Chain A
Amino acid sequence: MSRTGRVPGAAEAREVGPVRIAVSRSGGVAGMVRRAEVDTDGLDDPAPWLSLADRAVPLPEPPAPGRARDAFTWTIELGDHRAVLPDRAVTGPLRDLAERTLAHGRSPGR
């Protein structure tokens, strides 16, 4: 199994160790938190994850507060990067990565 990956945020792709991806989606009218994480290390096929992770950085800065209420809030950790973002700021490859992590990642602590 390949143990190489790319450092998210690196201008030049470099061969390095695995990437940990941790996502929480909180808020919404239900106020329920869903959390999941993925270590690309333990995956049979990390390539799609690493490709998304590579394109998802740099993580966006949180936008100025808007008028939306009960929209989801995302907390996304990608290697050394961490961002807390409103739903509308999670777009493109970052959105794909975040949703993919919730759908296929494992619950933290398991």
Chain B
Amino acid sequence: MAPRCSIVPPYLLSRLVEAGVPLEGDVAALATRTLATDVRLRAERPERARARIGRPEPGPQRTVDDAQGGTDLPGRTARREGDPPSGDVAVDEAYDGLGATWTMLFEAFERDSLDDAGRPLPATVHYGDRYDNAFWDGERMVFGDGDGQVFGRFTASVSVIGHELAHGVVQYTADLVYRGQPGALNEHVADVVGALVEQHAARQRAEEATWLIGAGLFQPGIDGVALRSMAAPGTAYDDPLLGRDPQPAHYDDYVVTDEDDGGVHLNSGIPNRAFHLAATALGGFAWERAGLVWYDALRDPGLSREADFAAFAATTLAAAEARFGAGSEEVDAVASGWAGVGVEPDR
């Protein structure tokens, strides 16, 4: 395929055409050609992916297995793609959550599954005995049933299912090292995707959304609304049994610890809030602008596996500029998001 001419950025051409600006001569020809190529490329990409795996229609390829309270993976197959509901709530929630995540990735980012080539989506539920966690094991999502006192089953939250799948997307893209700042960014991106899956499924605008991760996991009697709040990190719970949500919301409060792989689930609060600030400054559907910028940044080959907050912030600014143009309100929103949490982007 011939390289695309990139003298005039596509966003600018689209904008000129949309605005009805009359284009003449070379520019007009270029605009027509570029936009046509853009549309064709976009249409072609899933096509290629489908051809590669011999699938007629794009769609999720889900398998949900049941560990039946044990820890051997994958467990016994409980529901395959296209099967009717199994009647097991955890199996069916996992199936639906995987579907919602695939759909958000495809419709918002034109991404066909974790690897953008239709990779199957395997999950295991009923893992362990009263197991208080959900994780991505490098290959599949795994969900515990919760202890029944603090936590119920971890499939109950679509944002948690989206979060786990997002770790798979990160693995196939920036592959951020799971420690310290790059680890907190890995967690952050997973939360962004988790929140966007929920918002996309509910067709919720940034200003209407809860921005909570893991709402509905706590059992009655626990004083908390969710695992994390992207809008106000550090406020998701405050309970005698659990203590207080320890997430910082500003870079000044960055937590240094050797627990939690260097505080990856704590310090993610800082970029989480930056994203929330950017998305709510822009308004509307968060996946259409802020989400797209973050997704572009994640796929930027210049983003190091060891990126710190400042490097990632710079990559999001560059992504916003590339897609929406220098001086655009998108660039302003992203810049003020990072400024709001005290992160100064690399120059």
Interface residues of A, Cβ cutoff 8 Å to B = 24, 26-33, 65-73, 75, 84
Contacts and interface: CB of A to CB of B under 8 A. Distances in A.
Interface of B: 132-139, 151, 154, 160, 163-164, 167, 170-171, 177-179, 186-187, 190, 214, 217, 227-228, 242-243, 246-247, 258-261, 264-266
A27 B171 contact: no
A31 B135 contact: no
A100 B136 CA distance: 26
Contacts of A69: 135-136, 138, 164, 167, 170-171, 178, 186, 190
Nearest to A84: B258
B258 A31 contact: no
Contact of B266 (A31, A65, A71): A31
5 contacts: A29-B154, A30-B227, A32-B242, A67-B139, A69-B190
Nearest to A66: B138
A68 B135 contact: yes
Contacts of A73: 259-261
Q: Looking at chain B's contact residues, is the secondary structure mostly helix, strand, loop, or mixed? A: mixed
Contacts of A66: 138
Nearest to B177: A65
B187 to A, nearest CB: 8
Interface centre among A29, A30, A65, A69 (most CB of B within 10 A): A29
A71 B260 contact: no
Contacts of A84: 258-259
B242 A70 contact: no
B242 A29 contact: no
Contacts of B214: 29-30
A29 B136 CA distance: 10
A31 B137 contact: no
Contacts of B247: 31
B178 A75 contact: no
Q: Which 9 A-B pairs have the closest CB atoms?
A: A31-B265, A67-B138, A26-B259, A70-B135, A69-B167, A26-B260, A28-B133, A27-B260, A69-B136
Given A29-B227, A69-B135, 10 more contacts: A27-B259, A30-B133, A30-B214, A30-B265, A33-B259, A66-B138, A67-B138, A68-B135, A69-B178, A70-B167
B260 A70 contact: no
B135 A28 contact: yes
Given A26-B260, A73-B261, A31 B228 contact: yes
A66 B178 CA distance: 9
Given A67-B137, A67-B171, A70-B134, A29 B260 contact: no
A75 B266 CA distance: 17
A42 B134 CA distance: 36
A3 B121 CA distance: 55
Contacts of B242: 32
A69 B265 CA distance: 11
Contacts of B190: 69
Given A69-B178, A75-B258, A75-B259, A31 B138 contact: no
Nearest to A67: B138
Contacts of A29: 133-135, 154, 160, 163-164, 214, 227, 265
A61 to B, nearest CB: 15
Contact of B138 (A28, A32, A68): A68
A31 B243 CA distance: 12
Contact of B136 (A70, A72, A75): A70
B186 A31 contact: no
Nearest to B226: A30
A62 to B, nearest CB: 11
A94 to B, nearest CB: 16
Contacts of B243: 32
Contacts of A72: 133
A28 B146 CA distance: 12
A84 B260 CA distance: 10
B120 to A, nearest CB: 17
Interface centre among A67, A69, A75 (most CB of B within 10 A): A69
A31 B260 contact: yes
A29 B167 CA distance: 11
Contacts of A75: 258-259
B303 to A, nearest CB: 18
